[in-house]
């Protein structure tokens, strides 16, 4: 049986894929938008996702794929696929 490895690695890869797909479809989204989509639309409730965790996760695991800019009015990070 071929697979990605342990369940932890598979969950990490799925989370990376889901975040990248959402940011690709919705440029200039916030971490709260990503969490809302993953937790409520994609039903990834067992991951314990919060906007703060996603804000730390993206620079750590997806820094080559996703870039951010700061919103001038709110100071929040707006994520988009890196060029």
Does 8-81 carry CATH code 1.10.10.10? Answer: yes
> Would you list the domain boundaries of the chain?
8-81
Residue 4 clears pLDDT 80, i.e. is over it: no
For 16-59, write each residue's pLDDT tens digit: 999 999 999 999 999 999 999 998 888 877 778 899 999 999 99
Alpha-carbon distance 79 to 23, whole Å? 7
Q: Residue 40: what pLDDT?
A: 87
Structure tokens that stand for 43 in this block = 């039903």
Residue 11, SS3? helix
Q: Residue 58: what pLDDT?
A: 95
What's the whole-model pTM score? 0.85
For 8-25, write each residue's pLDDT tens digit: 888 889 999 999 999 999
């Amino acid at each position: 049986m071929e697979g990605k490895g342990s369940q932890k690695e598979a969950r990490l890869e799925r989370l990376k894929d889901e975040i990248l797909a959402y940011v690709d479809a919705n440029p200039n989204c916030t971490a709260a938008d990503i969490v809302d989509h993953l937790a409520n639309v994609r039903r990834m409730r067992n991951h314990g996702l919060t906007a703060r965790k996603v804000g730390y996760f993206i620079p750590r695991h997806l820094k080559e794929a996703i870039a951010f800019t700061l919103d001038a009015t709110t100071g929040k990070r707006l994520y988009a696929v890196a060029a």
